[in-house]
Structure 1
Amino acid sequence: MEIMEKLKILSDAAKYDVSCSSSGSKRKNRINGLGNAAPSGICHSWAADGRCISLLKILMTNYCIYDCEYCVNRHSNDIVRTHLSPEEVVGLTVQFYRRNYIEGLFLSSGIIKSPDYTTELLIKIAKTLRLKENFNGYIHMKGIPGTDSMLIYELGKYVDRMSINMELPSESSLKLLAPQKTRSAIITPMQFIKNKLTERQEEKHLVKYVPSFIPAGQTTQMIIGASGENDRHILKLSEALYKKVSLKRVYYSAYVPVMTGKNLPALQVPPLLRENRLYQADWLLRYYHFSADEILTADRPNFDLSVDPKTNWALQNWHIFPVEINRAPYEMLLRVPGIGVRSAMRIRTLRRFGNLSYDELRHIGIVWKRARHFITCSGKYYGLRRDDPLLIKKILLSQKSQIIFKQFSLFEGQV
């Protein structure tokens, strides 16, 4: 098979893995080196499914000894199989970088023979790029669950980021849909990476030079909708992973019903809105000081898909609102719908010099149409009703539908 035909097959097979993003790496170029992961970031290109990337995003092979029911590359699926040798992957990466097609490599793989054998091939690719080709661009590779820790450590010396995918949010789902994977086989390498990164941070205080080890940290991915876990279960798992293994990101991938199986749900379309709500809630966990139990409760374990999680929380806790914009603590400002991290910081800074007025507040960068229902400004309320959260929800949904209608009208050429 010609190499470009292999590339077409293996790049298409990699499109369901969404856990690639800007690196966060500080790896800089060296004399006579190729590439620089530090200043450019990873952006400006688009995958076939519409996601923005500028990586050579491929599988090393779509051969796989595992038979995960949801996976298009599962062992029992009758598809065209191929593989790229380590030399071919290295050659493609270097040539594509020199032609300015890519800014780095995102490499995953099916499992050949065993997790350890597959990881040894990934190590050969990363080591050749770094030491032989002197490639200093961004490299993101998949950690294979069940791999020996020393192989994970060896691979980590040459890559910028590593992701070990949870795939399914519970042990029972793994047993049902991916019986050859176990929760412990996934969590163990995650914990190993976390411990090694902690060791590196401590060593930096003692010695001048510390060898690189996954400088951009680790991530994971969960498939949403292939199994029956509710949103609260998924969000609490994400929260636990952030705390216990110091993940940089959890990626959520709406299940695309390309496979059939007795244990798979009969979905007509991927649950993309649910995926979006999980990303919004994940943002609240990482940047807005929310806990998973605040966002979703035991008696309401799933998102209200009609509104974003922050607005939904505010409506359910209406007794807290409205808050006075000139006196509310920073942590409370973050919980006001329509006020983001930057806006909250600006409000906190500017009100040191005196009370903010209505006009100043409108030009500070908040989403006024939303925020006005949840705040007062020098004691004055600019929303429509202070005592009826259901009416506020209807108003917000009406505004949203008007925006959508306007977008469709413009698209159709109607004024």
Structure 2
Amino acid sequence: MSFDRIKEKLNILADAAKYDVSCSSSGSKRTNKEKSLGNSSGMGICHSYTEDGRCVSLLKILMTNHCIFDCAYCVTRRSNDIKRAAFKIQEVVDLTINFYRRNYIEGLFLSSGIFKDADYTMERLVAVAKKLRLEEKFNGYIHLKSIPGASDELMREAGLYADRLSVNIEIPTVSGLKLLAPEKDHKDFLKPMEKVKNEIIQYKSEKKIIKSTPKYAPAGQSTQMIVGATGETDQQILLTSAYFYKEFNLKRVYYSGYVPVIADERLPQLGTQVPMLRENRLYQTDWLMRFYGFDVREIVDKNNPNLDLEVDPKLAWALRNLHEFPVNINKADKFMLLRIPGVGVKSVSKIIKARRFRKLNWQHLAKLGIASNRAKYFITCESSEFEKRDLTAEQIRGFILQNSSSKFRKLVSPQLNVFG
């Protein structure tokens, strides 16, 4: 096949893959050995980020944009009049290797429209990964999209060659899925997730006994939800996320604001895009759930079903729970330190270490990276400044919003500048 035709396919199928945001290479470690090609542990054509913050480049494409389903929200839906294309297995392998050799990419993110049936499609995705690993000796990062309804046997094989697997549940609620994708069954999304979870558990158990046990999906599994295609509240979305984290040990849940590209009476009107800020607030809440010890029900409930777009979810929680504050920075346990607005996970670790040697004041906190323009309303420390306060939640909110654009803010003296 001519180079021009391959380039045309790449343009079509890379563009079709851009709506899938569940693309991350964090958590995997494959070391280059025995003259293999590539190494996903030493570094990082989409950008993703590793667990330690490094930016990596991945070839992100669909195997095909042909699909047997007619989901209302999907640009590759069966009834949509678009240019179609499909890669052969060897073409994807060759593209990955050639791009890698030219240092364009550090790995592959491969998804696909569903053609013929789930197993046929999944077989082709697995075949690409298998060829890369066994024939090309490729040790770079591979992320495969699991096809809903694929057999357990294929899911097991996929995890032996891919670093991460992901099944996009697409719509957060069962009712929303029935409305926009009536041909799909919610149970088909759960089956491969359950299989991957069980295989990872089994791998970790066997690895303790047999060191040579083949790796299975070392970077775990993830999923993605479309936000705004149906009328779900943030509470419904986040409760769904919490369920998947708990039941399937997911590494990540990704949130993708719906982009209206198809006219359909069941969907938002063309041109009415979900605010990026809503997506950002969902990710912030997700972070609080995973790293700050928050339960989703503390952040959203029947009285607050949607996240506040003006302030971040941690600050919003603190303003609703002023009775928990102020917190003595020199005495509070880790649980409460993590709940102080303006104090991050790394700062909490520094505070706990530093206060073993002396009581901390505002100057110490500034050096530890505390965002004092927020934290000062919620903490006390060894300094006497700003000790007296009788502000309401609305007053604190107003002061923070008023000063949120300032990079620095004087807190206790002209000599002390504190990050805002």
User: TM-score, with normalisation over the residues of structure 1?
Assistant: 0.93
| Kept in 2: contact 1:119–1:151 (CA 8 A) | yes
Percentage of matched positions with identical amino acids = 55
The separation in 2 between residues aligned to 1:237 and 1:80, in whole angstroms, is 35
Instruction: Identify the residue that residue 214 of structure 1 maps to in structure 2.
Output: 217
Instruction: Identify the residue that residue 81 of structure 2 maps to in structure 1.
Output: 78
Instruction: Identify the residue that residue 72 of structure 2 maps to in structure 1.
Output: 69
Are 2:299 and 1:295 aligned? yes
Instruction: Identify the residue that residue 314 of structure 1 maps to in structure 2.
Output: 318
The separation in 2 between residues aligned to 1:193 and 1:205, in whole angstroms, is 19
Residue 339 of structure 2 aligns with an amino acid whose one-letter code is R
Are 2:361 and 1:360 aligned? no
Instruction: Identify the residue that residue 413 of structure 1 maps to in structure 2.
Output: none
State the 1:41 CA deviation. 2.9
Q: Which range moves more in the overlay, 103-112 or 175-184? A: 175-184
Instruction: Identify the residue that residue 355 of structure 2 maps to in structure 1.
Output: 351
Instruction: Identify the residue that residue 15 of structure 2 maps to in structure 1.
Output: 12
Aligned CA distance change for structure 1 residues 43 and 377 (closer, same or farther; 3 Å): farther
User: Alignment partner for residue 88 of structure 1, among 88, 91, 113?
Assistant: 91
SS at match of 1:319: helix
Instruction: Identify the residue that residue 407 of structure 1 maps to in structure 2.
Output: none
Are 2:128 and 1:139 aligned? no
| Kept in 2: contact 1:167–1:222 (CA 8 A) | yes
User: TM-score, with normalisation over the residues of structure 2?
Assistant: 0.92
Deviations 1:27-60 (A, max 9, x none): 11122211001121398689xxxxx751000011
SS at match of 1:239: helix
State the 1:287 CA deviation. 0.2
| Kept in 1: contact 2:47–2:58 (CA 8 A) | no
The separation in 1 between residues aligned to 2:190 and 2:240, in whole angstroms, is 12
Instruction: Identify the residue that residue 21 of structure 1 maps to in structure 2.
Output: 24
Q: Which range moves more in the overlay, 10-19 or 394-403? A: 394-403
Residue 195 of structure 1 aligns with an amino acid whose one-letter code is N
| Kept in 2: contact 1:375–1:381 (CA 8 A) | no
Are 2:239 and 1:236 aligned? yes
Deviations 1:347-391 (A, max 9, x none): 111111121122111211111111111111137352784331101
Instruction: Identify the residue that residue 384 of structure 2 maps to in structure 1.
Output: 380
Aligned CA distance change for structure 1 residues 62 and 187 (closer, same or farther; 3 Å): same
Backbone CA RMSD of aligned residues: 1.7
Instruction: Identify the residue that residue 55 of structure 1 maps to in structure 2.
Output: 58
Residue 281 of structure 2 aligns with an amino acid whose one-letter code is R
Instruction: Identify the residue that residue 38 of structure 1 maps to in structure 2.
Output: 41
| Kept in 2: contact 1:139–1:159 (CA 8 A) | yes
Instruction: Identify the residue that residue 280 of structure 1 maps to in structure 2.
Output: 284
SS at match of 1:223: strand
The separation in 1 between residues aligned to 2:174 and 2:210, in whole angstroms, is 41
The separation in 2 between residues aligned to 1:400 and 1:31, in whole angstroms, is 53
The separation in 1 between residues aligned to 2:137 and 2:291, in whole angstroms, is 37
Are 2:158 and 1:155 aligned? yes
Are 2:103 and 1:100 aligned? yes
Instruction: Identify the residue that residue 418 of structure 2 maps to in structure 1.
Output: none
User: Alignment partner for residue 329 of structure 2, among 325, 329, 333?
Assistant: 325
The separation in 1 between residues aligned to 2:327 and 2:182, in whole angstroms, is 51
State the 1:264 CA deviation. 0.5
Deviations 1:140-195 (A, max 9, x none): 01000011111111111110001100110011111110112222110111011111
Instruction: Identify the residue that residue 184 of structure 1 maps to in structure 2.
Output: 187
Residue 227 of structure 1 aligns with an amino acid whose one-letter code is T
The separation in 1 between residues aligned to 2:154 and 2:136, in whole angstroms, is 22
Are 2:269 and 1:259 aligned? no
Aligned residue pairs: how many? 398
| Kept in 1: contact 2:44–2:56 (CA 8 A) | no
| Kept in 1: contact 2:146–2:165 (CA 8 A) | yes
State the 1:400 CA deviation. 2.4
Aligned CA distance change for structure 1 residues 292 and 12 (closer, same or farther; 3 Å): same
